[in-house]
Amino acid sequence: MDPRRGDNSGEGSANAEQVVAFTAKLAQEDSYPCHSGVLKFANVCINEGDAYNSETGIFTCPLDGLYHFMVHMSVYGRAQCAISKNSETIVSMYHTSLPDKCSQVASVSTVVKLAKREQVWVSTWGPGRNDFFASPDNDSIFVGFRFG
């Protein structure tokens, strides 16, 4: 046991210094979603700790602690979304570039205390409020990391 780290040399135990961090981008084919519910960011850039699931769009907490989550959306029109924890809205964002309809970026972030197995995702509101997009020149991203 390393007394400085409080672990058993990493043999099957979660280490308080373990890195948990992800960045995932909205895929072009998922632009302008017409559903309400979880928004999937399918293109994973980094997923240290393997806690973000690109197939579901859900982050599942592997270690208790404080986490910072951010959403940056490229918007052409109107956008409304939220960062949700276990089906509760933690923080939401509403942005409009109407009537000019020019491309802009909208962002929201939060710090959340999570316990192991709690889940966090980006929620959408449904048609007419999801004018966020991805293109070769513009990314919409979901980012999260654990404070060490």
Q: Give yes or no for a contact between 144 and 21, defined as CB atoms under 8 angstroms apart.
A: yes
Residue 46 included in any domain: yes
Q: What is the pTM of this model?
A: 0.83
pLDDT tens for 94-134 read: 877 766 666 778 889 999 999 999 999 999 887 766 777 88
Domain count, the chain: 1
Q: Give yes or no for a contact between 71 and 122, defined as CB atoms under 8 angstroms apart.
A: yes
Tracing tokens 């909208």 back to the chain, one arrives at: 106
Give the CA distances from residue 25 to residues 1, 11, 32, 108, in Å, rounded to whole numbers and listed in that order: 39, 33, 14, 15
pLDDT at 39 over 50: yes
Range of the domain at 68: 21-146
DSSP 102: -
pLDDT at 11 over 60: no
CATH number of the domain that 95 lies in?
Answer: 2.60.120.40
Residue 91 included in any domain: yes
Residue 53 included in any domain: yes
pLDDT at 5 over 60: no
* Long-range CB contact pairs, 11-16, < 8 A, 24+: 14/62, 14/63, 16/63, 16/148
Task: Tell me the C-alpha distance between 97 and 78, whole Å.
Answer: 6
Q: Give yes or no for a contact between 54 and 112, defined as CB atoms under 8 angstroms apart.
A: no
What's the residue count for the chain?
A: 148
Give the CA distances from residue 75 to residues 92, 109, 136, in Å, rounded to whole numbers and listed in that order: 15, 17, 14
Residue 11 included in any domain: no
DSSP 39: P
